[in-house]
Amino acid sequence: MSIVGGPVWQIGDRAFDCSERTLVMGILNVTPDSFSDGGAFVSERAAIDHGVDMVVQGADIIDVGGESTRPGSDLVTAREEIRRVVPIVEQLVAQLAGFPISVDTRKAEVAEAALGAGAIVVNDVSAGTDPRMFGVVRASGAALVLMHMKGEPKTMQEAPHYDDVVAEVREFLAERVEAAVFAGIDPERVAIDPGIGFGKDLGHNLTLIHHVDALLELGRPVLVGPSRKRFIGSLLDLPEDQRVEGTAAAVAWMVARGAHVVRVHDVREISRVVRVVDAIARAGA
């Protein structure tokens, strides 16, 4: 299918037309225990430098996260997450004037602090489970990513089950978009994420990736995050730092099937992949 045509994602005062090209969200984990790069950017200087480097490499958005949500991870307090995230957001906003900074959090308290520091996107893996989250996002006018996750990070990979993973994920995301809009959030500020690797086994992940275009009927930008995930390691028998080619393959498939935003660690390499896929997909338009 063609990826030409797509919704608008309003981020701050910019309207990103998803029919024009695929957006790249760079991952900036300021955690000691994230599954792929935990500890690599815990110092403020290393985190800021990496964020700036990703912009140079082609990122359209930088997503700053202070809590690992890898399978088996423990909950981090809001206070600790704010301590990790807010100084990085503040400095990136100061150094990258006007560039979209996102906060990856499921806690309204953290989102509120990061938005106050200048972030303009909330990337919520729990899709607004915190009862205050929608109110915080609405009040700030921030953009919002709603992700599907079955269970909690600590236990989500313990024998996840679906009767129809694509239909169930689509139904969940439709309901959460409706809830966000009902709470007063502008629908053009909402994007959706099928949550690859979050409460899904290898078969579930491959089926979701294969049928990612089924989410397009919801009419919101589709963000995908296959980067260095366990399913790639299972297929290639490779550690996290050797999964760039596998990530590129998953990204290329999903972009060709209609995904609008890719969230990745390897920004330089994946930016090049999506530029080529975009050009091919639009060649016959």
Query: Which residues are designated catalytic?
Result: 229, 263
Q: Which burial class, exposed, middle or buried, applies to 71 when counting CB atoms under 10 A from its CB (0-12, 13-18, 19+)?
A: middle
Q: Tokens 């909690």 — which residue? A: 152
Tokens for 82, please give them: 């704010």
DSSP the chain: -------EEEETTEEEETTT--EEEEEEE--S--TTTTTTT-SHHHHHHHHHHHHHHT-SEEEEESS--STTPPP--HHHHHHHHHHHHHHHHHHSTT--EEEE-S-HHHHHHHHHTT--EEEETTSS-STTHHHHHHHHT-EEEEE--SS-TTTTTSS---SSHHHHHHHHHHHHHHHHHHTT--GGGEEEE--TTSS--HHHHHHHHHTGGGGGGG-SPBEE--TT-HHHHHHH---GGG-HHHHHHHHHHHHHTT--EEEES-HHHHHHHHHHHHHHHHTT-
